[in-house]
Structure 1
Amino acid sequence: MNDFVRHDLSAARVLLIEDDEILAAMVQEVLEGRGLTVTVASHPEVGLALHAVHRADLILLDRMFPGADGLDTLRHLRDKGDAVPIILLTSRGELGDKLEGLGEGADDYMGKPFSVDELEARIRALLRRARPSPALPPDTSVHGPFTIDWAAMRVEREGQVLDLTPQEFRVLSHLIRTPDRPVPRAELLEKAWPPDGRPASPRTVDVYVTRLRSKLGRESDHPWILTLDGEGYSWNG
């Protein structure tokens, strides 16, 4: 699970507005253990005051408080033109409540109880979208959380270089560059291996795909390489 600790979160400030002290303490402890700076406010008015003094990069906002509705806080921020990413946290899981929150300007919505791993994945996704992307050097492209330097055969996941062998890189490269269809094992053997080093068995491809999956990691339940029965593999970026 510590695979979630990434460079793009290391300086991010999260404001958690939540009146459940036990839940707030648990979320704060887990997220701070993974590189985030988390400030907790037990009431929307306190949260707004903290945000005004030390602007948060993202707000986790409970929906219901004694005598207050988190949607009022959401509306207040959006009416002021504040585009800070906001994830609503609530035990109200009805579709109408979710649509209402999203319609008022929330960026995401999580019903309680929730997985902190999934919460962090959503935080990370929102932070990536909210932060401007730096200019990429030549021969470099971004695919999901991965930055690929094609000339150097180097893959980074949010600032951390993955330890890929040249052959693993060639397999990954062909999958990414063939995004619109399944890639059969025989094609990977032909296109991703040099002629003088091509293995005899197509099942060797399975071994390399397994290694790649392990090194690429997962984001929540999102595998980066899909297995398509009877057809081969496909990039899921």
Structure 2
Amino acid sequence: MDLAADTVLLDGKPVPLTGVEFKVLRYLVTHLSRTVSREELQGFLDSFETPGASARSIDVYVGRIRRKLGNARHAVATVRGGGYQFVPGQCATVRGPAEYCI
């Protein structure tokens, strides 16, 4: 994920995320050291005046992100009773503060 260019690449190909999906993934990536609750994600999306950002719609957005990530879907993990966490796989590399590859 290139946070500076607002793009997500998987095996060198762009992942077609909607604006809300990208914001959710970006938030998880930038907070990868901890679990992010549904309520926190909802509050984050509310700050952008995103319509329909209820706790259950967060689950839908995460599901869509996982489908679009295909083989890298494991990178967005569910933390039971806690929310979601970005977990880079063992092949992941961090190239700098603005880029993450999954």
> Per the shorter chain, which TM-score range?
0.7 to 0.9
**Partner residue in 2 for 1:178:** 31
1:151-198 deviation digits (Å, cap 9, x = unpaired): 432111121001011110000000011111110001011124444224
Supply the RMSD in Å over aligned alpha carbons.
Answer: 1.8
Which residue of the other structure, out of 161, 166, 189, is the alignment partner of 2:42?
A: 189
Match 1:235 to one of 73, 86, 98: 86
Kindly report which structure 2 residues correspond to 1:132-211, keeping only aligned pairs within 5 A, or say none.
148-199=1-52, 201-211=54-64
- Name 1:5's counterpart in structure 2: none
- Listed as ranges, the matches of 1:1-237 within 5 Å are 148-199=1-52, 201-219=54-72, 223-237=74-88
Query: Per the alignment, do residues 152 and 210 of structure 1 end up closer, same or farther by CA in structure 2, a change over 3 Å counting?
Result: same
More relative contact order, 1 or 2 (CA 8 Å, 6+ apart): 2
**Given residue 196 of structure 1, which amino acid in structure 2 is its aligned partner?**
E
Give the distance between the partners of 1:204 and 1:215, measured in 2 at CA.
17
Rounded to whole Å, the distance in 2 between the matches of 1:193 and 1:167 is 11
Q: What secondary structure does 1:196 align onto? A: coil
In the alignment, structure 1 segments of 5+ residues that lack a partner are: 1-147
TM-score in terms of structure 1 length: 0.35
Partner of 1:170, secondary structure, is helix
Whose Rg is larger?
Answer: 1
- Structure 2, gaps ≥5 residues long: 89-102
The alignment partner of 2:71 has SS state of: coil
SS at match of 1:227: strand
One-letter amino acid of the counterpart of residue 171, structure 1: V
Given that 2:24 and 2:41 are in contact with CA atoms closer than 8 Å, whether structure 1 keeps it comes out as: yes
Distance 1:196 1:230 in 2: 26
- SS in structure 1 at match of 2:8: strand
Q: Alignment partner of 1:190: what SS?
A: helix
Count of aligned positions: 88
